[in-house]
Amino acid sequence: MTGRRTFTSIVGGDPHTCALDSGLVAHCWGANWYGQLENGSTNWEASPAPLDVGAIALPASTTTSVSTPTSASTPTATSTPTTVVSPTYFPNTSPSSLATATGANSTIRRMQETNVRDTSFTIIWTTNAAVTGFLKWGVSGNEPGRVAYDPRGSLSVSTVHSVTVNDLQPSTPYAFDIVSGNTVFTNSGHHFDVTTGPTVPVTAPDLASGRVTLVSNKAPGGALVRLNASNSTSASATISSFVTASDSSVRVLDPGSFRTPDLSSSYPTSGDATLTIEAFEGIAFEANATVILSDALNSLPNLTLNVDEVLLANGWNLVSLQGSPIQPLSAEEVCVSLNRAQQGAAVELDRWEAGSWEGHVCGVPPNTYGLEPLRGYFIRVNRPVTWAYDADPIRVAGTRAVSVGWNVVGIATPVTPGLTVAHSCTSIDAK
């Protein structure tokens, strides 16, 4: 804080402060996640700043400029600079809808309430860029003042988000806002709402497991799994699970935990009920399956996301494509993708061609060659970054012609058991 000010009165918030000076000018500082400082931004203010009266939002009952979004369209912004555009979200029985909203540095999609119980609920969503994400929540009628974080930690950045709020009261309405990167989504200032269900008799656990993998058969850095049951007359409320690399791509769920849409009782898992399973990794990458629910009570179908991830360290990295790109993939497109994940990270891509290195400098037109499976490439970045590209699995063995001298080749996974360098030499000699 610079300079010295004299205040005649002061009041504290959570956690922000406002004070009135002798000229009856209000000054505020501190937390500003959803514009509570009324200064036209959502940035943290370290020093007292005069309150811009022109930026104060009118009460909801007198504001006429707010455009109420619908689940079928992208919401439009309000004219009040302190109110952030927010998406409507999936009703818990409508998995086919998409909820979308755009903020300062984050676009939210696939926002949905899941796992609504008597004492907890989970909110899931995806974002167009890797950002942090958490919830501000509280009992309806009060300003959301408590915080719930992603299970990977408050500083975790990702394109997939799942936050669970626990220790709630049964049959009680709650309000929440989503803080995604530097943007706060507040449902046009009205907050999102979710009501916990009543307490129902506890059923015996009925756990089933399955895998969610990348096309390279590796575990994703993070993936959302969403499940709905349905029969000829009704659908269940949605349940979800969050799969991370530390889970070795295995998801464990309890299909017996399904509830009816009004949350008042358990959903029947016998008869003609079917189970729809969807997995998301970011925005564009997904997989799904539909099975008879009774068949899934012991084992869930495995899902392969149409994406692969390559973890790159600072400096040079020798990589190969472990999946077959769905669309042609050029060297410059790799640069653009890397910079989208970490701005300014991409430096250069090199391949071994006709006995010498052929390089592409990111952002410079020459040599933007296409990348192929079963070839090796050197990628240089100036900071750690995860590169994701859309791909199909390589389902059949491939061959690669090698030239006299040095060659840089890649091997698709899963590698044949027992394959060694010696076996590779023997195979080449046999040709």
Per-residue pLDDT at 74 = 31
Least-confidence region, from 41-45, 72-76, 155-159, 238-242: 72-76
- Mean pLDDT, rounded, for 136-155: 90
- Mean pLDDT, rounded, for 192-208: 85
Least-confidence region, from 54-63, 113-122, 134-143, 381-390: 54-63
Is the CB of residue 325 less than 8 Å from the CB of residue 374?
no
From residue 9, alpha-carbon distances to 3, 27, 52, 309 in Å are 18, 11, 18, 55
Q: Which residue has the tokens 């269940």?
A: 236
DSSP character for 257?
G
Per-residue pLDDT at 59 = 30
**Rounded distance, CA 138 to CA 177, Å?**
9
Environment class of 379 (CB within 10 Å of its CB; exposed 0-12, middle 13-18, buried 19+) = buried
Reference 189, options 43, 62, 286, 47; nearest CA is 62
Of 120-124, 241-245, 389-393, highest mean pLDDT = 120-124
Percent of the chain predicted with pLDDT > 70: 73
Q: Tell whether the model's pLDDT for residue 95 goes beyond 60.
A: no
Per-residue pLDDT at 251 = 67
- Mean pLDDT, rounded, for 326-354: 89
- Which is more confidently placed, 10 or 176? 176
- Mean pLDDT, rounded, for 105-120: 85
- Spell out the residues 6+ positions from residue 418 whose beta carbon is closer than 8 angstroms to its own: none
**Rounded distance, CA 218 to CA 223, Å?**
12
Q: Tell whether the model's pLDDT for residue 388 goes beyond 60.
A: yes
Is the CB of residue 127 less than 8 Å from the CB of residue 134?
no
Q: How does residue 330 score in pLDDT terms, banded at 50, 70 and 90?
A: very high
From residue 69, alpha-carbon distances to 78, 88, 98, 127, 203 in Å are 11, 6, 12, 18, 38
Query: Which tens digit of pLDDT belongs to each residue from 274-310?
Result: 888 888 876 556 788 888 877 776 677 888 887 888 8
Q: How does residue 120 score in pLDDT terms, banded at 50, 70 and 90?
A: very high
- Mean pLDDT, rounded, for 351-365: 89
Query: Which tens digit of pLDDT belongs to each residue from 130-141?
Result: 788 999 999 999
Query: Which tens digit of pLDDT belongs to each residue from 16-61?
Result: 788 877 766 778 887 665 566 666 666 667 778 776 443 333 233 3
DSSP character for 430?
H
**Rounded distance, CA 55 to CA 53, Å?**
5
Size (the chain), residues: 431
